[in-house]
Structure formats: structure tokens, C-alpha cells
Copies of this chain bind each other. A is one copy, B any other.
Amino acid sequence: MDDAIQERLNEFIRRKGLRRTGQRDTIVKAAFSKDEHFTADELFERARKIDSETSRATVYRTLGLLVEANLLREIDLGDNQTTYDPNFLDRPSHNHLVCIDCGRVLEFEDAHMDLLNDCVARRLGYKPVRQTIKIEANCEQLRLKGRCPNLIATRLTGKRLRKKR
């Protein structure tokens, strides 16, 4: 996957008269090492493991570039920080379901949905550019059986249970 990303980034960098640097390579590598969503701070931690000199400021600046180059997309998971989604290159129009119980985020795609949104926008006199759908939902398994493996895993790791701060 890294090749396509590197190439798009190089192209973007060239077009804007910017420079390819070691720091940017490090941060890009960290960002696309998994297909998981991440926050600026999580990326900072990952990048530090590759190069411990990495600064938060550069992480933020590089995130800005990657979003502008359409390699990352900002999503809002309802905690008060921006989450970055590295999966829009592969699936350009996916959306998110956030489990209210455990905070788990599922991605889904639906062509009908895309089409419908497109129609709605046009009917209103607009040309749709981007659509964001977030479904917040409860886990059926938890509701019916009183337990949900994700919730248990979440509690164990303490990750992604980010409500309001």
C-alpha cells in the first residue's frame, strides 16, 4: 500500500514546491502502518517509536499536508479531538458506525446511500463534494446477551472509551 501513498505524496509535494524530508517519511510510515484510525497524539507516539526526535508540531503540520493531499481524512468521533482515517484511498466513500457501548468504530459502504445523498444535494441546488455519515448505535449482542466481546476488550485495554474528554 505504501507505494501508492508515497507516490501521491511525492506528486503533491512536487506540485506545491515543498520538500521531501526524513521527518515526513517517518510520519507517513507511522500513519499508514495500520488501517486503524488514530488521533494526532497516537500518531505522535507511533512516530516516536520510529524516530524519537519527532516533535508534536511536525506531526500536526504533516497531518495537515496529508489531509490536503487527500491521503487522510479527518473524522469526528465525538470526543474532542480530530481522528484521522487512513482508509479513504481504498474505500473513498465509506462511512462510520460508532458503538455507544464500547466506542468501537465500524466502517461500512453503501451505494444506495451515496446515490441518495447525491440526489438530495442536487435537489437542493448543490453539487455534493463530500458526505459524512455517522451512525451511533448500541450493540445488539450486548443488549440481548448482556455481554459484548468488544466492550470487554475495550475495558481491558482502556483504549477508545473516549467520551467527552
Residues on A facing B (Cβ under 8 Å): 76, 97, 99-100, 106, 108, 110, 112-113, 116-117, 120-122, 124-141, 143
Contacts and interface: CB of A to CB of B under 8 A. Distances in A.
A138 B133 contact: no
Contact of A116 (B76, B112, B127, B128): B112
B129 A136 contact: yes
A120 B114 CA distance: 13
B120 A140 contact: no
B135 A131 contact: yes
A119 B122 CA distance: 24
B121 A129 contact: no
Contacts of A138: 126-127, 129
B124 A106 contact: yes
A127 B144 CA distance: 11
Contact of A125 (B116, B126, B132, B139): B139
B124 A108 contact: yes
A124 B97 contact: yes
Contacts of A97: 120-121, 124, 126
Given A113-B113, A120-B108, A137 B143 contact: no
A143 B110 CA distance: 28
Nearest to A136: B130
Contacts of A129: 100, 136-138
